Amino acid sequence: MDEYEQFKTTYFAECAELLGDVEVQLSALSTGSEDPEVLHAIFRAVHSIKAGAGAFKYTQLAAFSHEFEALLDRMRDGRIPVTETGVSLLFRASDILSAMVESAESKTELTGNFGSQILDEISIMVNGKSSAPAASKETVNVATEDTSESEAVTVYLIDFAPKAELFKHANEPLLIVRELKTLGELSATPILNQLPPLGKMDGEEAYIAWQFKLTSKARLDEVEEVFEFVTEDCSLEITSEANLDATEMEEDIPVSEIGNPASPANTPPAAKGPVTAAKVTSIRVDLDRIDRLVNMVGELVITQSMLSQQTSDLPAEQFPSMVRGLEELALHTRELQESVMAIRMQPVKSVFSRMPRLVRELSAKLDKKVNLVTIGENTEVDKTVIEEISDPITHMIRNSLDHGLEGTEERLKLGKPEAGNVTISAEHRGGRIVITISDDGRGINRKAVLMRARERGLISETHTPSDDEIDNMIFAPGFSTAEKVTDVSGRGVGMDVVRRNIQALGGRVSIQSNPGKGSRFTMTLPLTLAVMDGMIVQAAGDKYVIPIPNIVESLRPPKSSLKQLPTGQSLVSIRGSYIPLCFLHRIFHLGGAITDPAEALVVLVESEEFGTTGIVVDELIGQQQVVIKSLESNYKSVAGISAATILGNGKVAPILDIEAIYRISQQDLRNSPLPTASDGLSGVLQDSLARTNPQLATPSIG
């Protein structure tokens, strides 16, 4: 079977997608969707899984999906009403299905009666009565052992004449014959009257037809299934000779649904053939290949910007076509890069779709009623980001359900609706993706948080932090206020890891809480981890890149707007608010930079962690899209630098990590407070400063 390994890989990749679809559709169903397309979609997915399972001889999987499909089929044409218990059964059945797919993929054995309980329930629902356990087992084994005793033996006459297309589509009559043989006793008579003399034979034509006589206990649709993948590419006629036993009447239902038993061209795959054909607008590409493409385009962008830099002072009148060519090259490169990046963009749906399930399970475990609302699930973000956001979102949802939402009784007592609401939303904002997770629970218990923070020595006894500061303490390492450790959350690692992981991606996370009303996590991430718009700045002759999304504005402040606190913290007053300054040359210990901010440039940057701060640099060089390169693949991490890029001249330029720079500058101030003579800042100023930058006067807890 190893020769099929490659196809199996594809099959399992497809299964994963299909199971994901099933999940999405089931969630829609559970929220009361009455769209018939939902059930159709689930049916199609399960059917595709069944088809593949049959082809690769995963008998258990095939048998189970067959029964699952039967249930779905009856639900979609309304013979079985879609009730809550029904949906719940579908959910559990989809669990069994994914477990079976998993076991088939990992080549592990499941017990013979795995999922038989679900099968029983399905058959109760399908047949309206409980079938004996034995009967359901028989259905499981239908494809391996020939039949169950209750069914009669049927003699099928099968006329099978493959067309040339059959071979072109890589099918093989021999495999079909073998498959038929597993169903029962088979005799085959080749029909050779189409066979031309050897000299006239075309190697790619199909000349031989067969007449099979199959004596089997299998149902007609099972026989038809053998030809499922070749119905289009052959002429096929199946007639049953022997009389049908009465017990088969019930089993006959699927056959009559599938279509006229005598014309197998109407079997489901053929029937929905045009639909799938229209849908095939995508191809499956290995991620490695795309990554290579993205890397090469990145190199191309660098080369292109190097070229345009080198030729920027080329006299256009002397080399008109060359200059024009370079301009076009720049345009095309940009477009090429955007298209390549777009290949990797995916809607966040693939992550969001996993959440209803999580909420369902957690709410059952915690005995809380929860409504989950997802907004903006079609927001697109780079594949690399998608892979990374699933864990943080899961964690935050767990947190909201476990700590945020009250129990049902408590909610009723508080006059809130019985079911708690949790909302996940995604949107693009300023070249980043913003994901928020909000709940209408009790909000953060600031007293408990503060007490715990003091207990753990995260803040000093004397310091009184602001509400916002307290809220964000839940991101401090080793912090958990849950009074008891549950298996849902509360192990003390968690939110700090979440924050660290998000920061590692160049993202930020914060929480806003309204006691008694609920809390909201806000997570912002770059759309891609591969390119970024950057502002190139210079300090002491070295070039650095500041991420554009962080930049608010840049200015050269007048001397009168500059102040210094007794702590040594320099401030600039801009439109009535005082903003702290970080001197890049001080943080990086660079010699020869401009030290007076009134002569240098101040780039105002913004972050959820610290608000606004000004970074003092010598000058701005320009704005450019930069390809992000890891510094850490060959070197250790550098404080204050998140990554690096390669500029047009081929030189490396570090990309600044704004949050880290702010932290370093605060640390430097604490370690070596600059003695200031007489700045005499009023208490009012101190206060206003504390308001704009709550963390300024306090040790940072991140």
Partner 1 sequence: MVAVEIDTASNASTKTGILTPDEMAEENAPRLMGTQQFVTFAIGAEEYAVDIMQVREIQAWTEVTILPNQPHYMRGVLNLRGIIVPIFDLRCRFDQGETEATSIHVVVIIAVGDRIIGILVDRVSDILTIDGSEIRAVPDLDDSGESDHIIGLVTAGERMVALLDTGSLFRHEIMETELDDADDAAALQA
Give the C-alpha separation, 382 to 402, whole Å.
30
Q: Looking at 37-45, 91-99, 454-462, 636-644, which segment touches partner 1 (CB under 8 A)?
A: 636-644
653 touching partner 1, by CB under 8 A: yes
Q: Looking at 106-114, 189-197, 239-247, 640-648, which segment touches partner 1 (CB under 8 A)?
A: 640-648
Among 115, 162, 557, 640, binds partner 1 (CB under 8 A): 640
Give the C-alpha separation, 71 to 127, whole Å.
9
Least Å distance, CB 350 to partner 1, is: 22
Among 29, 220, 297, 302, binds partner 1 (CB under 8 A): 302
Give the C-alpha separation, 392 to 523, whole Å.
9
Number of Cα atoms under 13 Å in the Cβ half of residue 290: 16
Report how far apart the first and last C-alpha atoms of the chain are (Å, whole number): 54
Give the C-alpha separation, 43 to 49, whole Å.
10
Least Å distance, CB 49 to partner 1, is: 33
DSSP string, 14-50: HHHHHHHHHHHHHHHHHTT---HHHHHHHHHHHHHHH
The count of residues interacting with partner 1 (CB under 8 A) is: 34
298 touching partner 1, by CB under 8 A: yes
Q: Looking at 231-239, 333-341, 438-446, 492-500, which segment touches partner 1 (CB under 8 A)?
A: 492-500
Among 78, 558, 650, 699, binds partner 1 (CB under 8 A): 650
Q: Looking at 2-10, 132-140, 528-536, 643-651, which segment touches partner 1 (CB under 8 A)?
A: 643-651
Among 633, 671, 672, 682, binds partner 1 (CB under 8 A): 633
SS3 504: helix
Give the C-alpha separation, 658 to 44, whole Å.
49
3-class SS string, 174-229: HHHHHHHHHHEEEEEEEECCCCCCHHHCCCCCCCCEEEEEEEECCCHHHHHHHCCC
284 touching partner 1, by CB under 8 A: no
590 touching partner 1, by CB under 8 A: yes
Strand ranges for 471-596 from DSSP E:
508-514, 518-526, 531-539, 542-547, 551-555, 562-564, 570-574, 577-583
Give the C-alpha separation, 564 to 584, whole Å.
17
648 touching partner 1, by CB under 8 A: no
Q: Which is nearer to partner 1, 64 or 479 (CB)?
A: 479
Q: Which is nearer to partner 1, 66 or 395 (CB)?
A: 395
Q: Which is nearer to partner 1, 135 or 300 (CB)?
A: 300
Q: Which is nearer to partner 1, 544 or 578 (CB)?
A: 544
Q: Which is nearer to partner 1, 611 or 654 (CB)?
A: 654
Among 630, 670, 673, 691, binds partner 1 (CB under 8 A): 630
542-571 positions binding partner 1, by CB under 8 A: 542-543
651 touching partner 1, by CB under 8 A: yes
Tell me the CA distances in angstroms from 260 to 88, 219, 245, one per residue in order.
Answer: 33, 14, 19
Tell me the CA distances in angstroms from 216 to 151, 184, 242, 248, 515, one per residue in order.
Answer: 10, 4, 10, 13, 70
Among 299, 327, 338, 619, binds partner 1 (CB under 8 A): 299
AA identity, residue 460: S
DSSP string, 53-64: HHHTT-HHHHHH
Tokens for 611, please give them.
Answer: 């608000």
Among 400, 629, 663, 693, binds partner 1 (CB under 8 A): 629
634 touching partner 1, by CB under 8 A: yes
589 touching partner 1, by CB under 8 A: yes
Give the C-alpha separation, 674 to 570, whole Å.
10
398 touching partner 1, by CB under 8 A: no
SS3 428: strand
Q: Which is nearer to partner 1, 347 or 492 (CB)?
A: 492
Least Å distance, CB 397 to partner 1, is: 17
**At which residue do the structure tokens 């924050």 appear?**
499
Q: Looking at 41-49, 226-234, 634-642, 689-697, which segment touches partner 1 (CB under 8 A)?
A: 634-642
**At which residue do the structure tokens 């770059």 appear?**
526
531 touching partner 1, by CB under 8 A: no
Tokens for 392, please give them.
Answer: 């943080």
Least Å distance, CB 540 to partner 1, is: 9
The maximal CA–CA distance of the chain, rounded, in angstroms, is: 111
Q: Which is nearer to partner 1, 346 or 637 (CB)?
A: 637
Tokens for 117, please give them.
Answer: 């309980």
Least Å distance, CB 518 to partner 1, is: 28
Q: Looking at 1-9, 402-410, 575-583, 630-638, which segment touches partner 1 (CB under 8 A)?
A: 630-638
Q: Which is nearer to partner 1, 316 or 493 (CB)?
A: 493
Q: Looking at 51-59, 138-146, 185-193, 642-650, which segment touches partner 1 (CB under 8 A)?
A: 642-650
Least Å distance, CB 554 to partner 1, is: 21
Quote the distance between the C-alpha of residue 465 and its chain's center.
37
Q: Looking at 65-73, 144-152, 398-406, 639-647, which segment touches partner 1 (CB under 8 A)?
A: 639-647
Give the C-alpha separation, 288 to 369, whole Å.
43
Least Å distance, CB 647 to partner 1, is: 9
Q: Looking at 80-88, 124-132, 198-206, 493-501, which segment touches partner 1 (CB under 8 A)?
A: 493-501
Least Å distance, CB 638 to partner 1, is: 5
271 touching partner 1, by CB under 8 A: no
Q: Which is nearer to partner 1, 30 or 295 (CB)?
A: 295
Among 284, 429, 484, 636, binds partner 1 (CB under 8 A): 636
Q: Contact 213/238 with Cβ under 8 angstroms? A: no
**Four-point Cα dihedral 191, 193, 196, 198, nearest 10:** 60
Q: Looking at 157-165, 297-305, 399-407, 505-513, which segment touches partner 1 (CB under 8 A)?
A: 297-305
b/e burial code for range 362-374 (CB count within 10 A of at least 16 → b): bbeebebebebeb
638 touching partner 1, by CB under 8 A: yes
497 touching partner 1, by CB under 8 A: yes
Q: Which is nearer to partner 1, 52 or 494 (CB)?
A: 494
Residues 6+ apart with CB under 8 A from 566: 673, 676, 679, 681
Q: Contact 346/385 with Cβ under 8 angstroms? A: no
Among 635, 678, 682, 683, binds partner 1 (CB under 8 A): 635
Give the C-alpha separation, 101 to 120, whole Å.
20
Pairing of β 518-526 and β 508-514: antiparallel
646 touching partner 1, by CB under 8 A: yes
Query: Which residues sit at the interface with partner 1, rule CB under 8 A?
Result: 295, 298-299, 302, 491, 493, 497, 500, 542-543, 587-590, 629-641, 644, 646, 650-654
